[in-house]
């Protein structure tokens, strides 16, 4: 297990290094200086930037300085928002985005698993078709279109929910719904198909031959094995939800990191783009790592496989 963790850690570090290097290469390859083109930045900002990025030094020094600042978690000043650093923006925006993402993932996982299990148990029945219909819908409709539809139907027309912002649980319903539908659909489909496969396994037949009750068979024997693949796609789903927040926060005017990120792209606020990208990459890669570890704990075969590999 330790060896497994160390191996994953090493790969994680290389991936992070690639991201950091990539952002650096992109920064220096932007035609002209990214910080002084036609942008109407004032002189203090300009001076701050040049100081932070050591723009008068050779590239390799700039590179090492950049890596150093990334390790120290310092992403420098913003161009467009004077007197604000990227860290200020992250500190303000990320907790809100994190809250949105966390609620979304909880909703998506719970409803997706329930939907998938029910569909599998009622295989080829009405409930199965209904659940899979919902799932196909969820996968097909892009979240920004769903968000717009929800606002128009449930907020503007029906006035059940507020149109925008993030101030009370009622405000959270529509953004979470818009963001969770896609991942929920993916989880539901995956749970259903693995559940169906697991239910044909010999150990399920064996459990039935032992005379166990259906509930015990489902929860003790089937679900645990059926959820393994769901755990493996959690990393991808998290990435999807995270990029989804860019769109959803923009549409619902939620003052999270995603909104700042989209604005920084529109204004070509390079330090914010780079800083957020690096920050989110670190976050996601760490999540992937945790998912891997969780998988190793859930599936006893992994541990031993690693031991045998020694």
Residues at the interface with another protein (CB under 8 A): 11-12, 14-15, 18-19, 22-23, 26, 29-30, 136-137, 139-142, 144-145, 148, 151-152, 156, 201-203, 205-213, 216, 220-221, 224-225, 228, 239, 242-243, 246-247, 250-251, 262, 265-266, 268, 270, 273-274, 277, 280-281, 284-285, 288, 298-301, 304
- 63-76 burial, b at 16+ Cβ within 10 Å, e below that, comes to beebeebbeeeebb
Least distance from C-beta 139 to another protein, angstroms? 6
Task: CB nearer to another protein: give 65 or 243.
Answer: 243
- How far is Cα 139 from Cα 188, in angstroms, rounded to an integer? 11
* CB 276, min distance to another protein, A: 9
CB proximity list for 288: less than 8 A, separation 6 or greater: 12, 235, 238
Closer to another protein by CB, 44 or 115: give it: 115
Please report where in the chains the tokens 């070509």 appear, as a residue: 268
Q: How far is CA 124 from the centre of its chain?
A: 33
Q: Which is nearer to another protein, 97 or 281 (CB)?
A: 281
> What are the tokens at 174?
């529509």
Cβ atoms of 186 and 237 within 8 Å: the answer is yes
Least distance from C-beta 65 to another protein, angstroms?
A: 20
Minimum CB separation from another protein for residue 120, in Å?
14
Query: From the centroid of its chain, how far is CA 270?
Result: 22
Nearest to another protein of 13, 106 (CB atom): 13
Indicate the residue among 83 and 213 with the shorter CB distance to another protein. Answer: 213
**Which residue, 51 or 224, has its beta carbon nearer to another protein?**
224
DSSP SS3 for 165: coil
**Residue 122 CB neighbour total at 10 angstroms:** 14
> Do 154 and 160 form a contact (C-beta atoms < 8 A)?
yes
């Amino acid at each position: 297990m330790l060896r497994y963790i160390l191996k994953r850690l090493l790969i994680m570090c290389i991936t992070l290094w690639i991201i950091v290097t990539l952002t650096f290469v992109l920064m220096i390859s932007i035609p002209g200086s990214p910080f002084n083109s036609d942008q109407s930045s004032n002189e203090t900002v300009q001076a701050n930037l040049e100081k932070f990025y050591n723009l008068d030094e050779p590239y390799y020094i700039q590179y090492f300085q950049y890596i150093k600042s990334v390790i120290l978690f310092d992403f420098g000043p913003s161009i467009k928002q004077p007197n604000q650093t990227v860290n200020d923006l992250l500190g303000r925006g990320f907790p809100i985005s994190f809250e949105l993402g966390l609620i979304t993932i909880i909703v998506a996982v719970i409803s997706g698993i329930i939907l998938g299990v029910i569909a599998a148990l009622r295989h080829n029945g009405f409930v199965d078709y209904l659940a899979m219909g919902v799932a196909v819908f969820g996968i097909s409709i892009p979240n920004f279109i769903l968000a717009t539809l929800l606002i128009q139907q449930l907020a503007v027309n029906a006035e059940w929910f507020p149109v925008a912002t993030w101030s009370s649980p009622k405000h959270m319903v529509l953004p979470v719904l818009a963001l969770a539908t896609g991942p929920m659909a993916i989880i539901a489909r995956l749970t259903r198909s693995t559940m169906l496969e697991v239910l044909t396994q010999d150990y399920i037949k064996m459990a039935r031959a032992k005379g166990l009750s259906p509930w015990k068979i489902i929860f003790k024997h089937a679900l645990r094995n059926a959820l393994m693949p769901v755990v493996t796609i959690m990393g991808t789903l998290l990435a999807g939800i995270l990029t989804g927040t860019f769109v959803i926060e923009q549409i619902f005017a939620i003052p999270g990191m995603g909104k700042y990120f989209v604005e920084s792209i529109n204004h070509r606020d390079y330090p914010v783009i780079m800083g957020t990208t690096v920050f989110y990459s670190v976050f996601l890669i760490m999540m992937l790592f945790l998912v891997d570890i969780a998988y190793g704990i859930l599936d006893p075969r992994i541990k031993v496989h690693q031991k045998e590999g020694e």
